[in-house]
A and B are shown apart, each in its own frame.
Chain A
């Protein structure tokens, strides 16, 4: 019975598809540019807004912003479309997909695109971490769009209740001491973090100038070995394991799941993306006050920089030259100081050019909302080193998964910090080896 039902559904799908294909498509006066993205809710509205503004600014091209689901879904959609020889012109790919895109041979590098179309963007004005993450041989391969970096958030009301001064913790020692006081004063969650691998492992390594993987985190050649089981990585995990045991660190799951606890006003100290600001602001309105600070430092290790996350826009091969011309014009439009400043102000993502930072400073945005500036000052006080320019790993999503699995095993006490990190490295190396074997 079930099978018959399924077949009927398929039959209908085929019929509908056939009818749709048979219909003549209306002649388009404008050249259409497909832009596949993965931003939803408020962020998705902003994407539509900027596409609409571009479309209104000129008469030749029509950028169609299409929401394709989560980051992995958008990337897979583009892969499937490319293999079917129907790729979108632009696809938004998350930072962990960078190496896959670079190796794919399916992309039209952005620096090349702009050069071929005789349009100039001042790449040297891009902020350092963004430029280094997405460049190869000094050339930018994908268009910087929504970049963020983790920062520290704290709940001022909970701090007050625990008798703590209105100041974010600057070191892990302070995080521990403050979170303990929060819990002692009846708080439910002293410290927590979203995106566990990104905030607590990847960024902590970058922030303390420690290597995450060999070959300068994959920037000098394909990475083949993770290096997160060194003294620093193990020390970080031991600290957090103890935090769970002593009750001052509450683990709230992978991805951005922990954000719901922070938004509910339960957590006092919290690490997450700078782009979480908009949602936190809305959730906290009229309920509690909050502030931001730089990532905490672990004493005895050198200063590095925080690593960026988010996504960039990749141009796919296989379209017509006149369409690429439109893509180049769209990127030129996106990169304008005015649009960059607008985008960073309404989303909490990093302004990607120094000119945009200056424009925001001049317009008084930062004076009105100092939290918007935290990520920028953090990256400027940080020192960019080979360990903090970014992470370029093949099959990175699987590597991140292997790390988070072991973080959970460490936090719940079923493994020691050393054992867990060793296991994460072993599995991660396996995954890297597979990727290297593909592109040797």
Chain B
């Protein structure tokens, strides 16, 4: 890599200054504000600000609803990540074969990523909806079981999982496709000559060689499903039935935005901040070093 040397000592600082300023104003300042607010009981209009120390956190961790929400988020994130990656890898392998119309398939498979989470949620809503959805309608021919997710927690959870997997699918696929294309064909051919079948080749060569991609996608999907799924939940289930799909990020929004309990909500976002810092640290620490060919 070519190393750039600046003659002027201040020029580099001036050049990065806008970026630093934006980061400070749009990332650090709000983060600091929520950190500060999490220690207060605050009125919506800001006329009352009562210091409560760690009171909000104490209330948070003593709240059974919050612990249920945390559990639901963990289950949701892991399922979305594993199902999402497995599916993307499978289809990427298929789309990596030499078949006619390959470009078209690949483009079509990437499409879902261009859809906003809320829209993805609405699309699945139309498929799943107990009264006007096509799926319950078709199922009514084969079973009398009622898939009313307004009342069945696990169906509601399955629904937002499907929507989230779908939403992330194109992104995962793109990375896997790129990863697959980086694998030398000669290695695969050599294995074929040695008599390894398609499945053997996949597990002995493809999968290990793709491990950096998988690791990267793992952290990325975990982050996505922890923090970026607000739109899906809001559009489809609003956290219900009961609080079955009230994920952490949704609960923080609801308590703060609808409930106007600002300090309590800030404490929740501080917890979420800690989680994302951990995930990022994990990513930086292990991504480049431990997972290699």
Give A contacts to B, CB under 8 Å. Answer: 7, 10-11, 14, 72, 76, 79, 82-83, 100, 103-106, 188-189, 244, 250-255, 257, 260-261, 264, 266, 395, 397-398, 401, 404-406, 408-409, 411-412, 414, 427, 431, 434, 437-439
Task: Please judge, given known A-B contacts A100-B44, A104-B44, A431-B259, whether A261 and B240 are in contact too, CB under 8 Å.
Answer: no
Residues of B within 8 A of A398 (CB): 254-255, 258-261
Q: Are A412 and B241 in contact (CB under 8 A)?
A: yes
Residues of A within 8 A of B255 (CB): 398
Give B contacts to A, CB under 8 Å. Answer: 18-19, 22-23, 26, 41-48, 50, 65, 130-132, 148, 150-153, 238, 240-243, 254-255, 257-261, 264
A409 in complex: contacting residue of B242, B257, B259, CB < 8 Å: B242
Q: Are A7 and B47 in contact (CB under 8 A)?
A: no
B240 in complex: contacting residue of A83, A244, A264, A408, CB < 8 Å: A408
Q: Are A104 and B151 in contact (CB under 8 A)?
A: no
Task: Please judge, given known A-B contacts A72-B257, A395-B261, A398-B258, whether A406 and B45 are in contact too, CB under 8 Å.
Answer: no
Q: Are B44 and A253 in contact (CB under 8 A)?
A: no
Task: Please judge, given known A-B contacts A398-B261, A438-B41, whether A10 and B26 are in contact too, CB under 8 Å.
Answer: yes
List 8 A-B residue pairs with CB atoms under 8 Å apart, sorted by A's residue number. A11-B22, A100-B44, A104-B45, A252-B130, A252-B150, A254-B240, A408-B241, A438-B48
A395→B151 CA distance, assembly (Å): 26
CB-based closest 3 A-B pairs:
A398-B259, A412-B151, A408-B241
Residues of B within 8 A of A438 (CB): 41-43, 48, 50
Residues of A within 8 A of B238 (CB): 253-255
A402→B22 CA distance, assembly (Å): 39
Q: Are B132 and A260 in contact (CB under 8 A)?
A: yes
**B48 (CB) vs chain A CBs: closest residue:** A438
A253→B261 CA distance, assembly (Å): 24
Residues of A within 8 A of B50 (CB): 437-438
Q: Are B19 and A251 in contact (CB under 8 A)?
A: no
**B22 (CB) vs chain A CBs: closest residue:** A10
**B56 (CB) vs chain A CBs: closest residue:** A434
A97→B221 CA distance, assembly (Å): 37
Task: Please judge, given known A-B contacts A264-B131, A401-B259, A414-B242, whether A104 and B41 are in contact too, CB under 8 Å.
Answer: no
Min CB distance A248 to B, Å, is: 14
Task: Please judge, given known A-B contacts A7-B19, A398-B259, A408-B242, whether A105 and B47 are in contact too, CB under 8 Å.
Answer: yes
Residues of B within 8 A of A439 (CB): 43, 48
Min CB distance B127 to A, Å, is: 15
**A72 (CB) vs chain B CBs: closest residue:** B258
**B63 (CB) vs chain A CBs: closest residue:** A430
Residues of A within 8 A of B48 (CB): 438-439
Q: Are A106 and B151 in contact (CB under 8 A)?
A: no
Min CB distance B219 to A, Å, is: 12
Min CB distance A96 to B, Å, is: 9
Q: Are B131 and A79 in contact (CB under 8 A)?
A: no
**A399 (CB) vs chain B CBs: closest residue:** B259
Min CB distance A263 to B, Å, is: 11
A427→B65 CA distance, assembly (Å): 9
A395→B264 CA distance, assembly (Å): 12
Sample of 15 more A-B contacts, CB < 8 Å, known A72-B258, A401-B254: A7-B22, A10-B22, A10-B26, A72-B257, A79-B45, A83-B46, A100-B260, A244-B151, A260-B131, A397-B258, A398-B261, A405-B242, A412-B151, A414-B242, A438-B41
Residues of B within 8 A of A188 (CB): 131
Q: Are B43 and A266 in contact (CB under 8 A)?
A: no
Q: Are A76 and B22 in contact (CB under 8 A)?
A: no
Min CB distance B71 to A, Å, is: 16
Residues of B within 8 A of A255 (CB): 238
Residues of B within 8 A of A431 (CB): 259, 261
Min CB distance A272 to B, Å, is: 16
Q: Are A106 and B47 in contact (CB under 8 A)?
A: yes
Residues of B within 8 A of A266 (CB): 131
Q: Are B131 and A261 in contact (CB under 8 A)?
A: yes
Q: Are A14 and B22 in contact (CB under 8 A)?
A: yes
Residues of A within 8 A of B130 (CB): 252
Q: Are B131 and A406 in contact (CB under 8 A)?
A: no
Residues of B within 8 A of A244 (CB): 151
A137→B148 CA distance, assembly (Å): 47
A261→B45 CA distance, assembly (Å): 38
Q: Are B46 and A437 in contact (CB under 8 A)?
A: no
A55→B134 CA distance, assembly (Å): 49
B45 in complex: contacting residue of A82, A395, A434, CB < 8 Å: A82
Residues of B within 8 A of A106 (CB): 45, 47
Residues of A within 8 A of B23 (CB): 7
Most buried by B among A253, A261, A398, A434: A253
Q: Are B18 and A395 in contact (CB under 8 A)?
A: no
Residues of A within 8 A of B18 (CB): 11
Residues of A within 8 A of B46 (CB): 82-83
Residues of B within 8 A of A411 (CB): 151
Residues of B within 8 A of A189 (CB): 131
Q: Are A253 and B47 in contact (CB under 8 A)?
A: no
A255→B237 CA distance, assembly (Å): 11
Residues of A within 8 A of B152 (CB): 412
Q: Are A395 and B259 in contact (CB under 8 A)?
A: yes
**B244 (CB) vs chain A CBs: closest residue:** A408
Residues of A within 8 A of B131 (CB): 188-189, 252, 260-261, 264, 266
Residues of B within 8 A of A11 (CB): 18, 22
Residues of A within 8 A of B257 (CB): 72, 76
Min CB distance A258 to B, Å, is: 9
Q: Are B240 and A253 in contact (CB under 8 A)?
A: yes
A103→B47 CA distance, assembly (Å): 10
A189→B131 CA distance, assembly (Å): 10
A405→B151 CA distance, assembly (Å): 10
**B23 (CB) vs chain A CBs: closest residue:** A7
Most buried by B among A260, A434, A438: A438
